[in-house]
Amino acid sequence: MPASVVVGTQWGDEGKGKATDYLADRMDLVVRYQGGNNAGHTILAEGHTLKLQLIPSGILYPHITSVIADGVVVDPRVLLEEMDGLAAVGVDPSRLMVSGNCHMIMPYHLELEKVTERFLGKNALGTTKRGIGPAYGDKAARIGLRIQDLFDEKIFREKLDVALREKNLVLTRVYGRLPLTVGLIVDDYMRYAERLRPHIADTSKLIHEALREGKNVLLEGAQGTMLDLDKGTYPFVTSSNPVTGYALASAGIGPREVERVIGITKAYVTRVGAGPFPTEDHGPGGERLGTLGQEFGTVTGRKRRCGWFDAVILRYAARVNGLTELFVTKLDVLSGFPTLKVCTSYRAEGETFEDVPSNQSLFHAAEPVYEELAGWDEDLTGARSIEDLPGAARAYLDRLADLVGVPISVVSVGPGREQSLPAA
Ligand code: IMP
């Protein structure tokens, strides 16, 4: 049985959790493959609203094994809090499996990110301040601590000692902060170790065996293509790779296992944090999208920047991820606009770009070229099939699929499961 990938096509917050939820019935394993507790989705469990940042939302289904694969950076304190939150509302977290190869977010990562973002001043990236960049930085520099290090206190202490020697010099001499002590960190992390032990597994083998047994595996990304460290709007990106290619590296499977690559896209665009956003609307249109779409970050509560659908970045996302289909979310938010703008290309330095310009300065200078489509007034939230949508809404969807060159398989018109409408 094949694997499917759920990938964000914009700057994150496209509604990936919703797609996972929609597909959950047919899945046996749901695997989170990158990022950390910088992502977040709100879920409704047993009548309670929960915010999950690390654990895939598949945890709500008793038939699903939830997996955190190698490429995720894990703050063990946050992970345990999430597990406790689930248990408190009657959701059993025992089917969560975590790779021992995951790198951990350490207290000095949080501390360092706070001071470096401050140091950058007006050039700050606007990160979520969860220690994501510093943790991935240490991974690449090969001085990171992995979850498996927790299970040998001597090794853990030695590695921590090496890392802290350098971190404390930076914290105290460069940023005038107090040093962190090895002992306190060891005490905390050894407590985490005991609780995490039953959840640690060789997740690559687990996923491989599930596929061999004919089970369905969903690989779930966090953030989105335009926040990808290599393929996004560097340096205004996250420190991992949300694109499909990394799903394979993190899960530890080959490309031939993947059958579907589902690109999640909002019917408009949002972005949190700094960086270029050609279709951003600073006027009443953007304001209205933000209000009706309740565009506030799940993790930081920050107001999201809002703008119009951008077919240029979607074509790019289709290309770099190998999308087989699109899952369009939040179409209901567009009701009531007399016309809807859709960006079909960019203009920069006198040239027209049908694709994302590969040069950063050109992308910063990109002006959207819009096409205006007819809007509709009807409330879409009651639609239960594509046929229930007004003609203008269907024409809007047809035009998006045409511009991107990828078929739309599902359209959602609200947070409920019954509001995800199969389109093909
Ligand atoms: P970091 O991932 O915390 O290092 O933040 C880097 C950039 O990615 C910032 O602009 C964040 O706002 C953005 N970012 C990180 N995670 C998310 C997410 O889940 N949704 C939207 N933006 C995100």
Residues contacting ligand 1 via CB (< 6 Å): 11-13, 38-39, 125-128, 130, 132-133, 222-223, 227, 236, 238-239, 272-273
Check residue 46 and give its pLDDT: 65
Measured distance CA(306)–CA(271) in Å, rounded: 7
Check residue 41 and give its pLDDT: 81
Q: In which element (H, E) is residue 342 found?
A: strand 339-348
Output the average pLDDT for the chain.
95
Gap from CA of 223 to ligand 1 centroid (Å): 7
pTM of the full structure: 0.96
Check residue 192 and give its pLDDT: 97
Residue 385, exposed/middle/buried by CB under 10 A (0-12, 13-18, 19+)? exposed
Check residue 45 and give its pLDDT: 62
Measured distance CA(404)–CA(159) in Å, rounded: 48
Gap from CA of 326 to ligand 1 centroid (Å): 22
For residue 154, the one-letter residue type is K
Gap from CA of 375 to ligand 1 centroid (Å): 31
Average pLDDT over residues 409-424: 92
Per residue in 305-348, pLDDT tens? Answer: 999 999 999 999 999 999 999 999 999 999 999 999 999 999 99
Task: For residue 319, give the 3-state DSSP assignment.
Answer: helix
Per residue in 148-185, pLDDT tens? Answer: 999 999 999 999 999 999 999 999 999 999 999 999 99
Listed in order, strand segments (DSSP E) in 23-158 are: 29-32, 41-45, 48-52, 65-68, 73-74, 96-99, 103-104
Check residue 355 and give its pLDDT: 95
42-81 b/e (C-beta count within 10 Å ≥ 16 → b): ebebeeeebebbbbbbbbbbeebbbbbbbbbbbbbbbbbe
Gap from CA of 304 to ligand 1 centroid (Å): 11
Residues 251, 220: contact at Cβ < 8 Å? no
Percentage of the chain exceeding pLDDT 90: 87
What's the chain's Rg over C-alpha atoms? 22
Catalytically active residues, by annotation:
13, 41
Mutate to test the pocket of ligand 1, among 223, 233, 277 (most ligand atoms within 8 A of CB): 223
Mutate to test the pocket of ligand 1, among 272, 299, 303 (most ligand atoms within 8 A of CB): 272
* CA-300 nearest atom, ligand 1: 12
- Pairing outcome for strands 339-348 and 367-374: antiparallel
Check residue 49 and give its pLDDT: 76
Per residue in 5-58, pLDDT tens? Answer: 999 999 999 999 888 889 988 999 999 999 999 998 877 666 777 788 999 988
